[in-house]
A and B are shown apart, each in its own frame.
Chain A
Amino acid sequence: MNPSEYDLSIIGSGPAGIAAAITARKYGLRVLVLDEQSKAGGQIFRNIEGMEKNFNSELRKLGNEYQSGLSLVKEFKNCGADYFNDRSVWQIDADLGIHHVSASSNKVSSSINSYAKTKHLLIAVGAMERPMPFKGWTLPGVMACTAVDALYKSSGLVPDEEVILAGCGPLLLLVACRLLDAGVKITALLDTNRRLALLKALPYLPKALRSIGYLTKGMAMLHKIRSAGIQIYSGINGMEALGNSKFEKVRFKLGEHTLEKSSGMLLLHNGVVPNLQITRLLGCEHRWYDLQRYWEPVHDEWGNTSIDRISIAGDCGRISGASISEFNGYVSALDTVYKIGAISRNERNRLSLPYRKELSKHKAVRQLTMALINKPNYSLLQSSLKIDDLIDPRMNTVSSILKHVHKGTIETAYSILNGEYEVIEAEIIDTSELINKELKNANLPDEIRIGAILRGKDIIIPRSNFVFQKDDTVVFLAKSDQIQIVENMFRISAI
Chain B
Amino acid sequence: MFRKLYKNSRTITIYFEGSSIQVEPGQTVAAALLSKGHLCFRNSPISGQPRAPYCMMGVCYECMLEIDGNSSQQACMIQVSEGMDIKIQI
Residues of A whose CB lies within 8 Å of any CB of B are 36-38, 43, 50, 54-55, 57-58, 86, 103-107, 110, 128-129, 131, 138-144, 146-148, 150-152, 154-161, 182, 245-246, 264, 275
Contacts and interface: CB of A to CB of B under 8 A. Distances in A.
Contact of B39 (A138, A141, A152): A141
Contacts of A182: 5
21 contacts: A54-B6, A103-B78, A104-B79, A105-B67, A105-B73, A105-B78, A107-B68, A140-B40, A141-B39, A146-B57, A147-B56, A150-B76, A151-B2, A154-B27, A155-B24, A155-B27, A155-B28, A155-B31, A157-B4, A160-B3, A275-B59
Contacts of A146: 55-57
A129 B62 CA distance: 15
Nearest to A275: B59
Contacts of A38: 28, 79
B70 A110 contact: yes
A25 B17 CA distance: 46
A154 B59 CA distance: 17
Contacts of A150: 56-57, 76
Given A138-B44, A140-B40, A147-B56, A157 B2 contact: yes
Nearest to A149: B56
Contacts of A154: 27-28, 31
A128 B34 contact: no
Q: Which secondary structure characterizes the binding site on chain B?
A: loop
A86 B50 CA distance: 28
Contacts of A86: 77, 79
A157 B31 contact: yes
Contact of A147 (B24, B51, B55): B55
Contact of A36 (B4, B24, B58): B58
B57 A155 contact: no
A467 to B, nearest CB: 36
Q: Which secondary structure characterizes the binding site on chain A?
A: loop
A427 B56 CA distance: 40
Given A129-B55, A138-B49, A150-B57, A103 B77 contact: yes
B9 to A, nearest CB: 10
Contacts, number: 120
B65 to A, nearest CB: 9
B2 A245 contact: no
Contacts of A157: 2-5, 31, 34-35
Interface of B: 1-6, 8, 24, 26-28, 31-32, 34-35, 39-40, 44, 49-60, 62, 67-68, 70, 73-74, 76-79, 81
Contacts of A275: 59
B43 to A, nearest CB: 10
A156 B4 contact: yes
B2 A105 contact: no
A71 to B, nearest CB: 22
B82 to A, nearest CB: 11
B61 to A, nearest CB: 12
Given A43-B57, A128-B55, A245 B5 contact: no
Given A38-B79, A58-B6, A105-B70, A161 B56 contact: no
Contacts of B56: 143-144, 146-148, 150-151
Contacts of A246: 39-40, 50
B5 A158 contact: yes
Contacts of A50: 26
A151 B5 CA distance: 11
